[in-house]
Chains A and B, each alone.
Chain A
Amino acid sequence: MIKNIRKKINNGDLRRFRFWLQIFFFLLFVYGGYLSINLGQNIPTFACGFNSEGQGATCYLIPLQHQLALSSSTLFSMAGIAVLIGFSYFVLWFLVLNKGWCGYACPLGTIQDWITSLRSRLGIPYASYTWEQFKHLKKIKYILLVLMVVIPMGIGAGFFSHDMSTPFCMICPGRTLIPIFTGDFSQLTIDFSSKTKMILTTLGMLITGIFLAGSFFKKRFFCFFCPMSALHFMLSKLAFLKLKKDGSKCTKCGDCYTVCDMQIKEIADDVESKNILQDDCIMCLKCVSACPEEGALEVKFMGIPVFEATVEGYIKRMEKENKNG
């Protein structure tokens, strides 16, 4: 019985599964508010809080930046406990899906995938980074994460003006783009009320443009730079959902690398690590579905195998691809 279910899953069409699950989460996070759904404000992905009417949950980066900007006296009072509780919720949510939040749930990630499929339909090939570019670019998300922590703390300590509050949101394409889906274009403006705000919102507009152009040519363009992804990675060792590799079964054929949107080389080349999740990984699991080696790649939830590379599944999917593609 269980064996049969497993086989069904391993033979399944991941692409289709993912497509629909992404739509589900998109609806939940972007329109859930209209159905009075509220999953709280500690969601470990870009369920943007600026989408004030439709949001079915809120991206944790808003409360985080606000809380970091509290003065130290407030932070060490009762409010501090609330902050800790908020963080715990964030961690708990995260632990369930690990970076699967990015591959399956993030509205901004989904938007990028839609743009990708548009490009692909137009017959335009995707761009890739060279290994040198990749090595440098991947550091940016950590820099953004540090700034996202330091600037609010600077506000709290009185070094920076409150005009700089939620600095990352100001430049995040989530803020400008996600509200559009509920008909709210108000974020697509430049705020002239102060110099700081003007600079930040202009930067935001600019980054939105770069986001759209970038993700048209480069798969998951923005995710390379996403500070949420950096934050995830710090906790990912603890998560329940795991991406495992058994190097003894891997032939280094490179199929997983070929399909990886994030150009993660280790997925094919590293035959030592058991836990193969890398910091850029979005846990889309395309690699698992493209791997022809029985059990070389595997997804486990709390130690229970949920999806595994199999020859049979590989061939099934490949034949389908070859017919449609």
Chain B
Amino acid sequence: MANHKDEIKHPFNLTHQASEATRMLRSITDDFPDNPEAMNYFYDLYKKVYCEGVSLHENKKIVGTMCVQVPEELIYASGAVPVRLCNGFYTDDHNGADFMPAKSCSLVKATLGMLDSKSTLPFINRLDDIVLPATCDQKRKAGSMIADMGYSVYDMEVPPVKESEEARIYWRRSIRKFAGELKQITGKKLSKSSLKEAMAKISRAQKAYRKLYELRKQKNSVILGKDVFMVTNAYFFDEIESWTEAVNRLNVELEKRVEEKYSAAQRRAPRLLFTGSPAIFPNLKIPMLIEESGGVIVGDETCSSNRMLYDMVSSDEWHLNAMVDGIADNYLKPCTCPIFTKNDDRKRKLLHMAKEFAAEGVVYQSFSGCQVYSMEQASITKALNDEDIPVLFIESDYSPDDMGQLSTRIEAFIESLKAKRRRNRK
């Protein structure tokens, strides 16, 4: 792609973004004692990428993705690297405000701000294509703005209903078309063996993730939620194989912690699930507040983390079309994104997770201006309340202004969970 901003002002490490990242990273590492050794890989990675502006994926084609529905297997199989562009910087959110109406989603604004910035991350300057699944209104409409900035944008069609057979057919076609687009970009046609290899690569990553997921079911929490968000969030941009290895190393360390009965949180810390709008570095405001207030996040149901890595693809026979169709189904059918018409799958998922993780409460974040998460809120809360699981609904954005008020609410919620536990014990 022709570089759309030849007049780059100054290197990334001197930007407001870099100092925002540095501040957050310091908080993540220094505000908590005994971070797992193996987390250093991730802390360093963030430091390199977001504080120092080190480039990634040199000599590779990079395909930016704007939502969790883009099948990364296909991108890897075409010889390119996927990088998820959903962005968590307040500085970018601020800059992106020009593009969107006043009350819009911070994530979309921040992504626009990042893409528009004159001194953005080095790999952003090198994007060969941006794939934009037609999910929520704000993302959808962001597409043409991004195109106007000079990027090449591919609109990937997503059915609004996912239960019907029509949706399946439509989506499978959309994915096959996307495979064609990838060929245009990389010049490499999908082959059975390259796709199989890509599937294996991703499934190794998912296997490592699943292990981590299982480890969080321990009664003694061996890792804090803020760290797991850092791990999964690194999957957005890291080299996948080194990511997998790093997660495996972390798992080994955590297993040791299990044996030693080590607890990363206070022993009585209420166990919480996190759901709703995704927590993306450096906007880990709410997870941090939760764990600073004495709670521990044991699981999450968000597209920056669990939803992105959990569901694994099978194939019956290794034929290209069958593999592509199987992959397609796997990116649509289990997706609990609220842009789809029904809320049932997300409810079921949360109820099941609450049981699996012995969660005592759920924190539901909705970015101010995110309609779909807000609209689903009441029905999800009711389903969970019916099972006697309290929900704290938080509407917030990337600005640090509401920290004080949020921390009061979160502390109160955690206290109420502790009180509830005491009542139940009696």
Contacts and interface: CB of A to CB of B under 8 A. Distances in A.
Dominant secondary structure of chain B at its interface with chain A: helix
B203 interface: yes
A134 to B, nearest CB: 9
A252 B333 CA distance: 6
A130 B207 CA distance: 33
Contact of B348 (A247, A259, A265, A322): A247
A136 to B, nearest CB: 14
Interface residues of A, number: 35
A258 interface: yes
Contacts of B349: 251
Interface string A108-137: 000000000000100111100011000000
A290 B352 contact: no
A259 B320 contact: no
Nearest to B335: A252
B255 to A, nearest CB: 15
Contacts of A286: 316
A271 B349 CA distance: 12
Interface in B337-393: 345, 348-349, 351-352
B305 to A, nearest CB: 15
A318 B163 contact: no
B7 interface: no
A59 to B, nearest CB: 29
Contacts of A251: 310-311, 334, 345, 349
Interface string A257-280: 111010001001101000000000
B314 A258 contact: yes
A311 interface: yes
Contact of A249 (B311, B321, B352): B352
Contacts of A268: 333
A183 interface: no
Contacts of A315: 207, 210
A130 to B, nearest CB: 8
B147 interface: no
A125 B200 contact: no
B321 A131 contact: no
Interface in B19-43: none
Dominant secondary structure of chain A at its interface with chain B: helix
A254 B330 contact: yes
Given A120-B317, A318-B312, A322-B199, A248 B352 contact: yes
A258 B317 CA distance: 10
B330 A253 contact: yes
A156 to B, nearest CB: 44
Contacts of A126: 317, 319, 322
Contact of B163 (A124, A269, A325): A269
A205 to B, nearest CB: 30
Given A251-B310, A259-B316, A125 B322 contact: yes
Contacts of A259: 314-316
A53 interface: no
Contacts of A269: 163, 333
A27 B315 CA distance: 30
B326 A258 contact: yes
B318 A325 contact: yes
A292 interface: yes
A322 B313 contact: no
A255 interface: yes
B351 A125 contact: no
B329 interface: yes
Interface in B273-315: 310-315
Nearest to B313: A255
A315 B329 CA distance: 19
A314 B312 contact: yes
A8 to B, nearest CB: 20
Given A314-B312, A322-B196, A253 B334 contact: yes
A258 B313 CA distance: 9
A301 B90 CA distance: 58
Interface in B186-221: 196, 199-200, 203, 207, 210, 214
B259 interface: no
A123 B193 CA distance: 12
Nearest to B352: A248
B317 A125 contact: yes
Contact of A252 (B310, B313, B334, B351): B334
B203 A252 contact: no
The 8 closest A-B pairs by CB, nearest first: A255-B314, A125-B319, A254-B329, A259-B316, A251-B334, A258-B326, A131-B165, A253-B334
8 contacts: A120-B319, A248-B348, A255-B326, A269-B163, A292-B312, A315-B210, A322-B203, A325-B315
Given A125-B317, A258-B325, A311-B214, 10 more contacts: A120-B317, A125-B320, A125-B321, A248-B348, A248-B352, A253-B330, A258-B329, A290-B314, A318-B314, A322-B196
